[in-house]
Structure 1
């Protein structure tokens, strides 16, 4: 059995080479099974050429030496371009030695003599280069091959080298498991027998049948596509995209999808188009309303070249300088000049385009009204009051569509009749001043309340001073 140990040591050395870089799918293959040795190497006997050459090779029972157990092991590695290299080890027992000898009385009907050389042990170590035709015939199941190699055979007490041409056929049940059938002619140099006729270094056929497993393919991301063929080896993907993912399932791989997490259209590089206007949502300024490509996906109802969202008159065509309206909006408040009561001053549409007077503005006007100074007992202004009146005039001009009421108030000194008249005259004086400064007459109204609406006590000088005042209020009707 010492030769058998040699076989398995050699095979294990070959398997150790698997630490080398892997550069093809499942580059390694290991097979094991049963081998048969047929020492018949010459053609003879039979009724015709075919009978002489093809009947005896398949006379399994008569000519083949078969050890009824696992009797061979081989390891192969792909070296590229359908070629592979491997080592095989086999063991057998020779109890049928076949020789063509028509003169021997013990011959069979075809002239062959089968003898038992003494149950010789047979060991073989062989190196083989194999070429597969599986790619050439475009098959994933049937894998025919041709091979050539050399080996060393231990035949009884003899040992010798051989040249081994051969052929094989594998049927793959799955991508990695198959049934392997091989046949080799192991040509020895110097076929001979010893003096007693016992074979010494005979050429012979060796056939084998066994199970083959392919392995060694690397699939880092576990997507079923080997790294060698995987364009995205670190990310699980799909076979149709060479192993690259399609996260949103729109049929466009992520590396070419501009919207990889949103189901989209191929025409838009994988991006969605909610409104179906041909503009991807990511580029569509109006993604929920179909529009024009030229306007970034926004509609233009009146066809004036201005998107509805920017068109102040979306249903009536107008020039760009009028913001899409046929009429201008000078103050840009959204109220066209034709409808704007204050076309040069911005204001809300609720106030016909004029600015609205706020409570803060009224507070400012009344703070000025409190410091309007009149000559004692008269409705004429003191000199220092004109600056205050100018400030009031400026504010009123900012609200050209608003109407105001000027109200006069006095303290309690003097009779009620006198105070009423004085308050009315002072309010009228303020009104007349504002009209003279350009405020339209119909925007102003004046009235007096005398001493009837004090805002402080009339029992001291400070309170009386606060009660002598002019107030301005907004007329809202």
Structure 2
């Protein structure tokens, strides 16, 4: 035991210096003090030793225990539940399995990397630990290296104090030396502070522990330096005024920028900070005529109707030609025009029992197309009719195909497809008696009318598209 006092003195000096450095650097450390017991028996060796874990808790026959503090350790947290622990221990060996020894001195220096299943400082009182490492052991004057494996439990009663129990298996590298178990029981003190964000304020006192901040705000930041901490600053990245909760008022109109829809131009509070140059109650950004007062219904512009047809120019697809509201301000064919179209259409000739248009009718169809082009917003409906000769189904099919042939000719002549519809009515709508040759001839005809229902739907769709585009 002549080296015992020197060993303890040296260990305490090293630990005192390390602890002082740790406190200066604000690093988390743990100091452990305890007693240790060395047991050679349950190591799987030959007699007088036993097999692995034989009589593992036979303290009276096999454990070598030195009364008083015989082990001291220092642990340093690495992160994510891992920490490194360095330990020094002393003991006196007088039991070697089932044999006795003559009070041999025992010294051990060990270092292990450990994992705590508690996995976070101050996160629970029950703290199982496993670890692995290595060390060097002296028995009397003989020294040898070991590979160490350890399991233990820390019982944390406070954030800084724990009881600890631990078992270490030390496997000797050299067969001439003896593997053994070392059991430890003691206390552990956690030292140093945790400062996650590195702002000099410990996490326990830091109201914003993961973001570097200022002491005057209990560790919380003031990113824009306006004297208002970010948590209470509605504009944390722009220096502002306390009266606006940390937001600036760039244009000085009394509306802070975060609520000002026009932050660089002075405006009115009732317009959310935007100006209304003509005073018509519509902010300039929404006013199509910002310097002329006008009603909201006309987007801030005064009413204007160049052709005096009752349709405002903004809604008038033919603003310079008087038309009707139903036709978006464009003119509609009169009764006389429709009659003129039908005078032409009734002269259209087809091949016998076919939908093929005879060549002598092409000039007539071109005249119809020229008239239709004058009414670009009007949808025309082409009707095919027959006399009663033949079956009703055949007549309906033939009339539908003839109406479609006329529509196809007009499309090829330049009339948009969406401005033409066609249908065949067969013999269902005669205009003369089918009992005479003259009457049947009059019933075999093509007529043109206005497709008002289709036109209304078309206009409604266009208005909806315009509304949707305006809202985007």
Tell me whether the two structures share a fold, i.e. TM-score over 0.5.
no
TM-score by length of 2: 0.44
The structure with the largest alpha-carbon Rg is 1
